[in-house]
Structure 1
Amino acid sequence: MTKGNEILASVRLGKPPPPDCPVLGTWRLRSYVRERLSDGHRYNQFGEAPIGYIGYAPDGRMYAIFTRDDRIIPGNVVPTDQEGAELLSTMVAYAGTFSLGKNVVVHHVDISWNQAWTGTDQVRHFVLEEDSLTIITPPYKSYIDGSMGRSILVWNRVK
């Protein structure tokens, strides 16, 4: 069994998190960095001060929503098609249930800003240090430049 399979084998599918689960609660996004695999270059994918929250509830539900810090303000309450497209490209939002394993969380997506994610399982590795939660995605192809990389999101616990 490979190390990746061992980690995923630790995931408690379909079981609610234990009451003392340290990831439970609401977390505010502190940084969102993209790291290219080819050269290790890192950049702030959603600007210098992205805004967002991720929440994990005792009933096993979760949500995540985050945006760039420099989003456009539409000229009207109803954005034009171009404004709507730009707004959509500067955010991520999804919700569903979650399963935990050893340093891994799987988000089982019920609804998403990107319909291609709906019905999928999004595997995320995490590191928890006191009131800081770092979530790291598996490698994926960037929609911006087509390069392979991973996202590293750092969250602070909301008190």
Structure 2
Amino acid sequence: MNLPTVAQHQPNCTGPQLGTWKLQSFTDEDLATGEKTDLFGAHPSGYLSYGPDCRMSAILLKEGRRTPETLVPTDAERVDLYNGLIAYAGTYSIEGDKVSHHIEASWNQSWTGTTQVRQFRIDGNCLYIRTLPAKNPMTGKQSSAVLVWVKVE
């Protein structure tokens, strides 16, 4: 039996966003009060990767996360670790100054299957991303965050 050959369309993304970026800062602004907060501390860590196959992944970690006392964290330790984490992966698309993250897997299941749209610009080896006004998944408040990333060379 001869099965028809179907050429699969492989998406191709190009541009200066390609590669891996290291998180430098993550500042959230409460839109009701104008108050700015470094929710993950003054020195958060994390990485953002954009591939030529239009796939992306992001992990952001709060400064000073505590190591559990044993290999298996207690419930309280798990909550603390979870509260200092944002992680997701999926595909991405770019239109003008906006990048859309089409989330397929996420630390917060309510983000899985959603599209998170961000404004972005690249200046030299820095990537600046601003979230559009929305409810912050960490605080529940209407906010917008600015994240600064530096290209990993």
> Could you tell me which residue of structure 2 aligns to residue 28 of structure 1?
22
| Corresponding residue of 1:4 | none
**Pair 1:17 & 2:13 matched:** yes
Q: Which of the residues 135, 139, 144 maps onto 1:150?
A: 144
1:128 equivalent in structure 2: 122
List gaps (5 residues or longer) in structure 1.
1-13
Give the C-alpha shift of residue 82 in structure 1: 1.2
Specify the code of the residue in structure 1 equivalent to 2:12. Answer: P
The aligned residue for residue 56 of structure 2 is 62
Q: Quick one: distance in 1 between partners of 2:39 and 2:101? A: 21
The RMSD of aligned alpha carbons is: 1.5
| Alpha carbons 1:28, 1:155 under 8 Å: kept | yes
2:84 corresponds to? 90
TM-score of the pair, normalised by structure 2: 0.88
Residue aligning to 1:110: 104
Deviation at 1:119, TM superposition (A): 0.8
- Count, aligned residues: 144
Match of 1:88, SS?
Answer: helix
1:119 aligns with 2:113: yes
**% identity of equivalent residues:** 42
Q: Does 1:44 align with 2:19?
A: no
Cα–Cα, structure 1 residues 99 and 144, in superposed 2: closer, same or farther, change >3 Å? Answer: closer
* Equivalent residues of 1:34, 1:44 under 8 A apart: yes
How far does residue 145 in structure 1 lie from its aligned partner after superposition?
4.9
CA contact (8 A) 2:59 2:87 kept: yes
AA partner of residue 114 (structure 1):
N
Work out whether 1:77 is the aligned partner of 2:71: yes
- TM-score, with normalisation over the residues of structure 1? 0.85
